[in-house]
Amino acid sequence: MAAISSSVHCLFSCNSHHHLQREQSGSLCRLGGSRVFVSSSIWKLSLFSGVDSKRRRTLICAVKGDPEEAFKKTVEIDRMIDALRDANPREVEKLVLENILAFDEVFWIRLAARSDTCKSDDDKKDYEELATTVMTIVDCVVNKTREKIETSTDILKGILRPAIDGVEEISWAPRDPEAINLMEKEIIQREKEGQLDEGFLSEVSAQLRQAKEDKDKPGLLAMLQKVLQLYSATILSKRSYAKKGNEVVKAEHFLETLIKAPEEQWNKLFVDGLTIGKGDITPDELSAVIKKRIERTLIRTEGGSYQQRILTEYLKGIESRAEEITKLMQG
């Protein structure tokens, strides 16, 4: 990105790499909401070439733990290995993708141990070819995950570009007031194109955590928070519950006005819209529709997803601010 400040350059060139390293430490990566252990190619292949049987037995003993649990794990792995050996190439790929969490250290050690017990060179060769095939598929998944993280970083950079292009020192709010509008338009467009998926939300959340830990980039922290606020407003505004037949449900309409409005305008909207100020919506009515919207959000989003957490936090933020204003006005 042209004329980008050193802190932002570090964020996206170095920090994204650290984010990947956190999720993929040697062989640990995140796929969706799951953590997947993928042994390095060299380590896996070494189990089949140049590592003596005594060393492998030592490794097997080291990972056993509870005997009963170890036995159950071994039975499960043997079933997986047998299924993979009997499957055709297309079925092998399907099995690997469906059971990606199964390919941990214990799996590779067990596969190597079974190779050791083979009585013929042909059987041993079959195991080595199976290991190579599975390894290739798993490594492909890791590479696609890495590419996805990099793509999500590029999307985030594109959204932030209006606020940071040509800026030497990151500050909030941006010097150009139009920057936020341009960021919002960028988010709306990219959401229409299906780019703001779980991978993107994961990347923003990771960058936000890092900015909080660093404590020396308050402008960047506020900027990333604004991205999530604009995202939440965009998604939540796609559905309206303000009309019931020909009638307008005032509390729902008021909530939707708050959802679409910048956070900086919430206080004024509360004073103008609630009965504690100049309006005709009671705090209890607003609280009721917020809780109902949170309930609808929980139903319509995947449990435990970044989207679910971000949208519900945004709604709870509105509720919390309303409670603060209510207490202040009444006190």
Write out the chain in H/E/C secondary structure: CCCCCHHHHHHHHHHHHHHHHHHCCCCEEEECCEEEECCCHHHHHHCCCCCCHHHHHHHHHHHHCCHHHHHHHHHHHHHHHHHHHHCCHHHHHHHHHHCHHHCCHHHHHHHHHHHHCCCCHHHHHHHHHHHHHHHHHHHHHHHHHHHHHHHHHHHHHHHHHHHHCCCCCCCCCCCCCHHHHHHHHHHHHHHHCCCCCHHHHHHHHHHHHHHHHHCCCHHHHHHHHHHHHHHHHHHHCCCCCCEECCEECHHHHHHHHHHHCCHHHHHHHHHHHECCCCCCECHHHHHHHHHHHHHHHHHHCCCCCHHHHHHHHHHHHHHHHHHHHHHHHHC
Per-residue pLDDT, averaged over 169-173, amounts to 68
Same domain, 284 and 327: yes
Same domain, 266 and 212: no
Residue 101 sits in which domain range?
Answer: 1-236
Same domain, 101 and 75: yes
Question: Of 80-94, 285-299, 303-317, which range is least confident?
Answer: 80-94
Q: Is the pLDDT of residue 222 over 70?
A: yes
Per-residue pLDDT, averaged over 90-115, amounts to 87
Same domain, 230 and 305: no
- Give how many domains the chain has, as a whole number: 2
Same domain, 224 and 244: no
Same domain, 99 and 208: yes
Give CA–CA dist 207/201, Å, rounded: 10
Same domain, 166 and 34: yes
CB 19 within 8 A of CB 156: no
Same domain, 53 and 115: yes
Indicate the residue among 190, 214, 236 that finishes a domain.
Answer: 236
Same domain, 144 and 255: no
Whole-structure pTM value? 0.60
What is the pLDDT at residue 61? 45
Indicate the residue among 177, 209, 236 that finishes a domain.
Answer: 236
For helices 121-164 and 218-236, angle between their N-to-C axes, nearest 10 degrees: 100
For the chain, percent of residues with pLDDT exceeding 90: 43
Q: What is the pLDDT of residues 43-76, one digit of tens each?
A: 444 555 444 444 444 444 444 457 888 888 889 9
Same domain, 265 and 208: no
When pLDDT is cut at 50, 70 and 90, the band that residue 39 belongs to is very low
CB 302 within 8 A of CB 308: yes
Indicate the residue among 236, 253, 283 that finishes a domain.
Answer: 236
Question: Of 61-70, 210-219, 310-319, 320-329, which range is least confident?
Answer: 61-70
Same domain, 192 and 128: yes
Same domain, 109 and 133: yes
